[in-house]
Amino acid sequence: MIQQEDHPVGENDILLRTHNLSIRFGGIWAVSELDLEVRLGKIHSVIGPNGAGKTTLFNMISGFIRPSAGEIYYAGHAIRKYKPHQLVKLGMARTFQRLELFGGMKVIENIMTGFHTKGSGGIFASGLYSGKVKKEEKSIREKAMEILKSIGLVEKQDKLAAELPYGEQKILEFGRALATSPKLLLLDEPVAGLNEHETLGMMKLIEQARGEGVTLLLIEHDVKMVINISDRITVLNFGKKIAEGTPGEIRRHPAVIEAYLGKE
């Protein structure tokens, strides 16, 4: 029984589950008592007005901030105290609302850095450029090229990431997250600031990732896009879940219309 309590995820198809998840900043509960379930292989979206606690939720799931209370279960692990880099090894990747690219590195090097956890060469082997490191570098470069092909940035591979236009930077960050070969990919406003054409491109990439078996959890303001793409939607307001369901259900949900959609 205790075993089951510790690992409530894994028997079924739930990849990520939060239980009673809460965090307080000063006197404000930014997220309170949130229960969330993300199913394997689905696209799950979290929407809500500004300040609803969406990004805070992401930061807690991905280990960037520690919750004040509650627990997060991911692929059989209770991950409340895990650090971001440990979660990457468990197959969790994320992007950021405000881009966190390596601007001084080339586009291909950004992707190659995404493969960090796949390599094993240490400082001394790397400094001496041993045969093993040489082989590893070559294979990382090849794999990075494959990702660049799939996201359509091959021609830009030798440009510095900081020199790319905003839309391509967003795509690059998505590609870098893919390079970690994630099971669960958290996308923080993947189409914010993109024009219609770029949005369509990003949606295609997201669906392509799902086709390859990646589970996606995303935050988005673009309601049209969310309703089009999501299998399931959770609506947050003031840190609390006010509704959850399929896109069709959410559209008709009175609390959602009042809090969010009604203002559109």
Shortest CB 181 distance to other proteins, Å: 11
Smallest separation, CB 249 to other proteins (Å):
32
Q: Which is nearer to other proteins, 176 or 232 (CB)?
A: 176
Please say which residue, 125 or 242, places its beta carbon nearer to other proteins: 125
Binding site for other proteins (CB under 8 A): 62, 64, 83-85, 88-89, 93-96, 98-105, 109, 112-117, 119, 121-123, 126-129, 133, 136-137, 140, 160, 162-164, 166, 169, 173, 176-177, 179-180
3-state secondary structure of 228: helix
Q: Give the up-direction half-sphere exposure of residue 25: CA atoms within 13 A in the CB hemisphere.
A: 10
CA 58 to mean position of chain CA atoms:
8
* Minimum distance of other proteins from residue 33's CB (angstroms): 27
Which residues, other chains included, contact 213 with Cβ-Cβ below 8 Å and sequence gap of 6+? 41
By beta-carbon proximity to other proteins, the closer residue of 122 and 262 is 122
* Distance separating alpha carbons of residues 2 and 214, to the nearest angstrom: 30
CB of 220 or CB of 244, closer to other proteins: 220
Write down the least CB distance from residue 89 to other proteins, Å: 6
Burial class (CB in 10 A: 0-12, 13-18, 19+), 188: buried
